[in-house]
Each structure stands twice: as C-alpha cells, then as structure tokens.
Amino acid sequence: MEEVIRLENVKKYYEVRRGFLGSQSLKALDGVSLNIKKKETLAVVGESGCGKSTLGRVSLRLLDATDGRVFFKGQDITMLSEKELRDKSFRKKMQIVFQDPYSSLNPFMRIGNIISEPLEIHGYAREETREAVLKALEDVKLVPPEDFLNRYPHELSGGQRQRVNIARALVLGPEYIVADEPVSMIDASSRAEILLLLKSIRDSREMGVMYITHDIATARYVSEKIAVMYMGEVAETGPSSSVLRNPIHPYTILLLNSVPEPNPANRRTRRLVIKGEPPSPINPPSGCKFHTRCPIATERCRTERPSLVEYAPGQLVACHRAEEVIKGSVTVA
C-alpha cells in the first residue's frame, strides 16, 4: 500500500524561558521516525507531555521540525513555505481532529456553516460546497444531513459534536488525518462508536490516520500499528497485536499494567505501578530516559542511550535489556 506520511529522525526543540537562567531547550521530540500508509492507522500512546501532540503537528507541518524530514506521499515537505503548502494542495490533504468537542466549535455558527467554512476558505463553488458538506455529514452518520445543517453546537451531544469536528476535517477530502485524543472527552458509552466510525471512513476514503491517545486499550481496535512514546522518543513500536500481547519494553509492560479492567478481584490487590512521574523534560535523564523509573535499570542504562532494534517482525524496542525480557531471564512485572 502507498505510503502517506513518513517522518525521518524528527526533532522538535522548544525554547523555554527559565527566569534568570535565560532560555533552555526542551526536547519535545528527540529523533522520531515513523510511517503511515493508506488505510492504515498508527496509534501514538504515552503519558501526558511525552510529545504526542507535537508529533502530530510536526507531521502536518503545523509546527516546524528542528531537525529531520517530513514526507507526504513521498514528497519532502519539510522546507515548503506556507504558501507552497497551500498552492500545492498539501494543506487540504492533511487535516486534524481536535480533542475537545466543546470548545472547538464556534457556538454562534450553524453546523452547516461550521463544516463548509474550510471549503469557503479554499474558494470552492457553492454547489460543490453543498455537496461536500452533505457527503461529510453522511459519512459521520449525522443523518439525515438536512436535520443537522441548521442546528447549533449546543443542541448536539458531545458525541455528535465530535462527529461535526470529524466532518469538518473530511470536507476537503484529506488523505491524512491526525486525530488528537478524539474521544477522550466523550462519554465512555459512545467512544467505541466514534472510533469505529473513524475507522470505516478511513477505509472508504482511503486515508492514513495518526490516532493520538492516552488510552492504550482503545488502540488495538482501530490501529494496525502502535508507537509507545516516552519523553520525546519512541520506546517501542510495532504491529498493535504484538505490542499489546507481547510487550517488550519495561515502560510498555508497566503502562499496560496500569490500565484498569472490570474485575471484582481487583479490589483485593494493589496494582503494580510505575513509580514516580516523568522527570523534567528540560533536564532529561542521561542514557535511557526511562531509567529513573525502570525497575530493571542497570549501570549501562544510566549512561548509554539504547537505540530501536527489531526483536520480532516489525516490533522495534529501545531497551538494553530487551533480549533478557524476551527470554524471561529478567521480569518487569
């Protein structure tokens, strides 16, 4: 299948002011490579602040990478100006769906206008606009579309608003979508519906999707691949089924352990947790960034940065002790 997005060794450093210390750089992304094909979803998971949104935005060229390359369908778009991005239609073909279905929609605009706005900005004709809007509403199952065109956001439920957000991202016919926590603010009882919808639209419109989420348990339902991030780096990546069934990186193993499952036996035990919190990204730990919280860290982990190595088909892990974890000669949890 055709590749839609490729990132090569992407870095993103933010300059942050630290009072009298002057400014320091915060490595939000520190050498990330990935690719997403047509009809494929990559789930990007990890704790708050690990760089997920930054990654999504860099891949859309909404943020400039400090280093590394961004390719859209094989073309290097890293250095293109905003004007070039627009003139060559890259902007239309790459869209984002935001997390918050409440504040991301203008409360004073009707649903129809909210969805048609991007088309108007890109100078579409009236008839074309109407057709695209109706099609987008149908795709997100806000049907019959005529019933929704004239409504205001406050007349819709959270789930319906999120569909409007998705419809808005779809009208320009994108080939790549970044969905940044698209269901985290929606009731649990509606999340699966939205995620499955997103997946079926992805297939019918043949898009590539980056699905950014805190909720690793949802990843396997909608994504073929997973990238687990820790402090701006990919700790483990591979086919979703392998990463979830046979996690190798200690961080992935412990992250999966933190996810609650509905089981009455839970309350008689204590969950095995990752101790502490991610350290300051301004002063990241040396060597493996996870070593300060890793239960099996050794001296080598404190000094030498592990690189991503393939341990199973398509499954890459950045951990010095991966071999031992696989053999079972050391256990994490």
Partner 1 sequence: MSREEALRVEDLKVYYMTEKGYVRAVDEVSFNLSKGESLAIVGESGSGKSTLGMTLIRALPKNASIVSGRAYIFGDEILSISLQDFRRKFSWRLISMVFQGAMNSLNPVLKVGDQVAEPLIYSGGLPKEEARRRATETIETVGLPREFYNRYPHELSGGMKQRIVIAMALVMNPQILILDEPTSALDVTIQAQIINLIKDLIDKLGLSVIFITHDLALASDIADRIMVMYGGQIMELGSTDRVLGEGPKHPYTEKLLSSIPRLRGEGMPDFIPGRPPDLSSPPPGCRFHPRCPYVFDRCMKEEPPLFNINSTHLVKCWLRGD
Could you list the residues that contact partner 1 (CB under 8 A)?
Answer: 47-48, 157-160, 187-193, 196, 214-218, 220-221, 244-245, 254-264, 266-267, 270-271, 273-274, 277
Please tell me the distance from the alpha carbon of residue 134 to that of residue 124, in angstroms, as a whole number: 15
Q: To 10 degrees, what angle do helices 158-170 and 188-205 make? A: 20
Instruction: Decide whether 46 or 306 has the Cβ nearer to partner 1.
Output: 46
Kindly report each contact of residues 72-76 with a partner whose C-beta sits within 8 Å and lies 24 or more positions away, as own/partner.
Answer: 72/4, 72/5, 72/176, 73/2, 73/3, 73/4, 73/175, 74/3, 74/6
Q: Which of 6, 10, 41, 52 binds ligand ATP (CB under 6 A)?
A: 52
Is residue 294 at the binding interface for ligand SF4, with CB under 6 A as the rule?
A: yes
**Of residues 248-267, which lie at the interface with ligand SF4 (CB under 6 A)?**
249-250
Please tell me the distance from the alpha carbon of residue 215 to that of residue 47, in angstroms, as a whole number: 10
Is residue 301 at the binding interface for ligand SF4, with CB under 6 A as the rule?
A: yes
Tell me, residue by residue from 92 to 131, as one string, x for binding to ligand SF4 by CB under 6 A and - for no binding: ----------------------------------------
Please tell me the distance from the alpha carbon of residue 310 to that of residue 77, in angstroms, as a whole number: 28
Please tell me the distance from the alpha carbon of residue 216 to that of residue 214, in angstroms, as a whole number: 6
Q: Which does 124 bind (CB under 5 to 8 A by kind): Mg ion, partner 1, ligand ATP, none?
A: none
Local structure of residue 193 (DSSP, 8 states): H
User: What is the H or E stretch that residue 14 is in?
Assistant: strand 3-17
Q: Closest by alpha carbon to 98, among 224, 175, 185?
A: 185
Is residue 189 at the binding interface for ligand ATP, with CB under 6 A as the rule?
A: no
**Beta carbon of residue 49, minimum distance to partner 1 (angstroms, whole number):** 9
Q: Which does 294 bind (CB under 5 to 8 A by kind): ligand ATP, ligand SF4, partner 1, none?
A: ligand SF4
Q: Check whether the bond before 313 is cis (ω within 30° of 0).
A: no
Tell me, residue by residue from 271 to 310, as one string, x for binding to ligand ATP by CB under 6 A and - for no binding: ----------x-----------------------------
Q: Do 170 and 205 meet the contact criterion of CB atoms below 8 Å apart?
A: yes
Greatest Cα pair distance, the chain, in angstroms, is 66
Tell me, residue by residue from 191 to 230, as one string, x for binding to ligand SF4 by CB under 6 A and - for no binding: ----------------------------------------
Which residues contribute to the site for ligand ATP (CB under 6 A)?
A: 14, 16, 26, 28, 48-54, 281
Which residues contribute to the site for Mg ion (CB under 5 A)?
A: 53
